[in-house]
């Protein structure tokens, strides 16, 4: 109720002005803080000279972003461009063998990057899960998959297996964890799909072609085996009309985003400021709230760029990969909160939906969410911060259902029924605003630090109460209503109209 109801245009215009003004005010505070702190001793390690023609220092606190687009930029471009060229050549000459070409090129790239012993290690995990899949027991496949994943996430097995990597380089740990962990998820998906469809008799070669597809190998996203196998097995793949134009647009958008983020880091030190709590504590309340929000937005942009580059290559190979995660700005419910759509789809298909069913009953939903976040904790690497993050987000997901169930019973249901649809939307928007900041705070714990999260929570809820608290909630409420309006518009566009043919 209230989602499909439009609010007056004037009201939405006021929301837009309030939100734009608040974001500009917070950005101004962050810009001034970045200028004041540029020469602080605590900033020396992570704020360094940037582009010469900009003439400002740059925030380089995120070593992964810096490595991807400086030291390893040429290596990544060389590997992906080589894949595209060989894929195009094979598709033109022998399209029925293109899946084999993907696998051979991926195996050679992995062996050249990480060494032959690392390749043999992963082949051992692949063969192990393939053998178990022949038994046709899903619980055994999932159990072995989780055991394999645990071997890459807990010592001493992690240290022992990392010794299989040849040489040492800056991104070694990232590539090792990425390639190993995604390999386990892919192999587990293969095993579970083999159990679900025993008549199809998938071979070990199908698993190897699936696992060693290079664009997805190190950083994902994860496509479940059934989807990948169906798409890559097309003998004569064809593109929908306008697909090439959309691929070019996505590639161009990824390049523009990389440049914009680099320029942004010359003016806003959003990753370095939280590391200096003494300095961060002196920020105005609006700038501190903006800083917390900006950290989550950056993490989404980082994931969107990575998936954008990888997905561009995958779409050139006639695949339909998982899309980039939903922007944090458009999130106001825990049920849609994830930073990796591929892993989210994997967890939903094999764990969350399997246990939770329709996600309408309290106890099955609690069991499903606890199992899902337990596996997510293992995926991220068990530690105190990850435990806290999992507990908070699991609680948030279940608390939404509890509130929904409570609202369906009298007297709350009667109260909402007495409201107009527009007023109902406004009331739900207030709850959405509070939920948005719960999502921000719960995820800021793992994306930044517990100490910085405590600082933000204390300033917004205690020392800033009631002025800052109400102001932030009102600005967030404006944003939630604008997001709801966008969702309403998209829903209306998707509904079949009188001039559209209805499916039989």
Q: Which range (101-105, 223-227, 413-417) has the least confidence?
A: 413-417
Q: Is the pLDDT of residue 5 over 90?
A: no
Model confidence pLDDT, tens digit, residues 300-358:
899 888 888 899 999 999 899 988 888 888 888 888 877 788 899 999 999 999 998 88
Higher pLDDT, 502 or 212: 212
For the record, the structure tokens of 256 come out as: 């523009």
Give the chain's radius of gyration (CA, Å).
24
- The predicted structure's pLDDT at residue 501: 47
Q: Is 169 helix (H, G, I), strand (E, B) or coil?
A: coil
Helix or strand (DSSP H, E) at 478:
helix 467-494
- How high is the mean pLDDT of the chain? 89
Instruction: Quote the DSSP letter at residue 459.
Output: I
- Residue 67 in contact with residue 171, Cβ under 8 Å? yes
Higher pLDDT, 215 or 496: 215
- Within 48-137, residue ranges assigned H as helices are 63-68, 73-93, 98-114, 116-133
Q: Which range (373-377, 450-454, 496-500) has the least confidence?
A: 496-500
Instruction: Quote the DSSP letter at residue 28.
Output: H
**Cα separation, 398 vs 251, whole angstroms:** 38
**Cα separation, 256 vs 246, whole angstroms:** 15
Q: Is 60 helix (H, G, I), strand (E, B) or coil?
A: coil
pLDDT classification of 200: cutoffs 50, 70, 90: confident
Q: Which range (41-45, 120-124, 130-134) has the least confidence?
A: 41-45
Token look-up 């200096």 returns 276
Cα torsion 483, 485, 489, 490 to 10°: value is: 20
Q: What is the DSSP string of 229-283?
A: HHHHT-SS--PPTTHHHHHHHHHHHHHHHHHHHHHHHHH--TTTGGG-HHHHTTS
- The predicted structure's pLDDT at residue 77: 80
- The predicted structure's pLDDT at residue 170: 66
Name the residue among 93, 188, 203, 196 with its Cα closest to residue 150.
Answer: 188
The residues, any chain, with a CB within 8 Å of residue 67's CB and separated by 6 or more, are: 170, 171, 174
- Residue 30 in contact with residue 290, Cβ under 8 Å? yes
**Cα separation, 369 vs 356, whole angstroms:** 8
Helices then strands, each counted (H, E), the chain: 22, 2
Token look-up 């022949």 returns 134
Helix or strand (DSSP H, E) at 59:
strand 57-59
Counting beta carbons within 10 angstroms of the beta carbon of residue 140, is it exposed (0 to 12), middle (13 to 18) or buried (19 or more)? Answer: middle
**Cα separation, 323 vs 342, whole angstroms:** 8
**Cα separation, 43 vs 223, whole angstroms:** 40
Q: What percentage of the chain carries pLDDT values higher than 90?
A: 58
Name the residue among 266, 264, 294 with its Cα closest to residue 280.
Answer: 294
Counting beta carbons within 10 angstroms of the beta carbon of residue 427, is it exposed (0 to 12), middle (13 to 18) or buried (19 or more)? Answer: middle
Q: Which range (298-302, 372-376, 468-472) has the least confidence?
A: 298-302
The residues, any chain, with a CB within 8 Å of residue 350's CB and separated by 6 or more, are: 142, 188, 189, 192
- The predicted structure's pLDDT at residue 3: 59
Model confidence pLDDT, tens digit, residues 71-105:
667 777 888 888 888 888 887 888 788 889 899 99
Helix or strand (DSSP H, E) at 397:
helix 384-407
pLDDT classification of 479: cutoffs 50, 70, 90: very high
Name the residue among 197, 196, 270, 237 with its Cα closest to residue 447.
Answer: 270
Name the residue among 465, 464, 401, 459 with its Cα closest to residue 435.
Answer: 401
* Number of CB atoms found within 10 A of residue 355's CB: 17
The residues, any chain, with a CB within 8 Å of residue 131's CB and separated by 6 or more, are: none
**Cα separation, 448 vs 454, whole angstroms:** 11
Counting beta carbons within 10 angstroms of the beta carbon of residue 139, is it exposed (0 to 12), middle (13 to 18) or buried (19 or more)? Answer: exposed
Q: Cα–chain-centroid distance for residue 436?
A: 17
**Cα separation, 260 vs 304, whole angstroms:** 13
Q: Compute φ and ψ for 61, nearest 5 degrees.
A: -65, -30
Model confidence pLDDT, tens digit, residues 135-174:
999 999 999 999 999 999 988 888 899 888 877 766 778 8
Q: Cα–chain-centroid distance for residue 356?
A: 22
Model confidence pLDDT, tens digit, residues 52-74:
788 888 999 988 888 777 766 77
**Cα separation, 337 vs 323, whole angstroms:** 14
Q: Is the pLDDT of residue 440 over 70?
A: yes
Report in angstroms the alpha-carbon separations of 502 from 130, 497, 498. Answer: 44, 8, 9
For the record, the structure tokens of 32 come out as: 């001034």
- The predicted structure's pLDDT at residue 50: 83
Higher pLDDT, 495 or 429: 429
- The predicted structure's pLDDT at residue 503: 42
Model confidence pLDDT, tens digit, residues 245-302:
999 999 999 999 999 999 999 999 999 999 999 999 999 999 999 999 999 999 989 9
Helix or strand (DSSP H, E) at 437:
helix 421-447
For the record, the structure tokens of 223 come out as: 């496509």
**Cα separation, 40 vs 8, whole angstroms:** 49
pLDDT classification of 502: cutoffs 50, 70, 90: very low
Q: Compute φ and ψ for 222, nearest 5 degrees.
A: -90, 125
């Amino acid at each position: 109720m209230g989602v499909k109801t439009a609010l007056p245009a004037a009201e939405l215009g006021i929301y837009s002005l309030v939100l734009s003004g608040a974001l500009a005010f917070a950005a101004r505070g962050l810009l001034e803080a970045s200028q004041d702190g540029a020469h602080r001793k605590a900033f020396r390690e992570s704020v360094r000279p940037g582009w010469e023609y900009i003439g400002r220092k740059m925030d380089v606190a995120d070593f992964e972003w810096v490595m991807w687009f400086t030291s390893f930029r040429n290596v990544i471009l060389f590997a992906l461009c080589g894949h595209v060229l060989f894929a195009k050549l094979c598709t033109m000459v022998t399209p029925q063998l293109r899946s084999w070409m993907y696998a051979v090129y991926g195996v050679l790239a992995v062996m050249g990057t990480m060494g032959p012993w690392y390749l043999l290690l992963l082949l051992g995990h692949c063969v192990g899960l393939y053998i178990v899949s022949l038994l046709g027991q899903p619980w055994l496949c999932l159990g072995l998959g989780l055991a394999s994943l645990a071997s890459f996430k807990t010592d001493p097995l992690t240290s022992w297996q990392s010794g299989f990597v040849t040489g040492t380089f800056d991104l070694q740990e990232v590539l090792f964890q990425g390639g190993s962990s995604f390999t386990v998820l892919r192999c587990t998906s293969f095993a579970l799909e083999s159990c679900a469809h025993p008549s199809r008799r998938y071979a070990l070669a199908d698993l190897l072609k699936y696992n060693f597809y290079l664009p997805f190998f190190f950083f994902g996203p994860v496509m479940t085996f059934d989807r990948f196998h169906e798409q890559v097995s097309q003998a004569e793949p064809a593109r929908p009309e306008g697909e090439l134009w959309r691929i070019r647009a996505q590639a161009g958008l990824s390049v523009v985003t990389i440049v914009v983020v680099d320029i942004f880091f010359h003016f806003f030190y959003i990753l370095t400021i939280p590391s200096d709590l003494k300095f961060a504590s002196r920020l105005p309340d609006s700038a501190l709230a903006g800083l917390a929000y900006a950290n989550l937005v950056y993490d989404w942009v980082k994931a969107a760029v990575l998936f954008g580059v990888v997905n561009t290559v995958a779409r050139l190979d006639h695949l339909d990969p998982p899309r980039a995660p939903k922007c944090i700005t458009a999130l106001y419910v825990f049920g849609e909160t994830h930073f990796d759509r591929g892993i989210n789809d994997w967890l939903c298909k094999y764990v969350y939906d399997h246990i939770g069913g329709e996600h309408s009953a309290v106890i099955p939903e609690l069991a499903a969410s606890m199992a899902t976040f337990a596996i997510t904790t293992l995926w991220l690497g068990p530690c105190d911060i990850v435990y806290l993050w999992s507990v908070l987000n699991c609680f948030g997901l279940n608390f939404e259902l509890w509130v929904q169930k409570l609202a369906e019973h009298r007297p709350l249901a009667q109260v909402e029924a007495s409201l107009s649809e527009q007023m109902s939307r406004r009331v739900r928007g207030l709850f959405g605003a509070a939920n948005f900041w719960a999502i921000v705070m719960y995820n800021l714990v793992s994306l930044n630090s517990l100490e910085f999260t405590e600082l933000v929570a204390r300033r917004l809820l205690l020392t800033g109460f009631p002025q800052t608290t109400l102001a932030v909630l009102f600005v967030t409420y404006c944003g939630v209503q604008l997001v709801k309006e966008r969702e309403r518009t998209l829903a209306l566009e998707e509904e079949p109209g009188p001039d559209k043919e209805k499916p039989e």
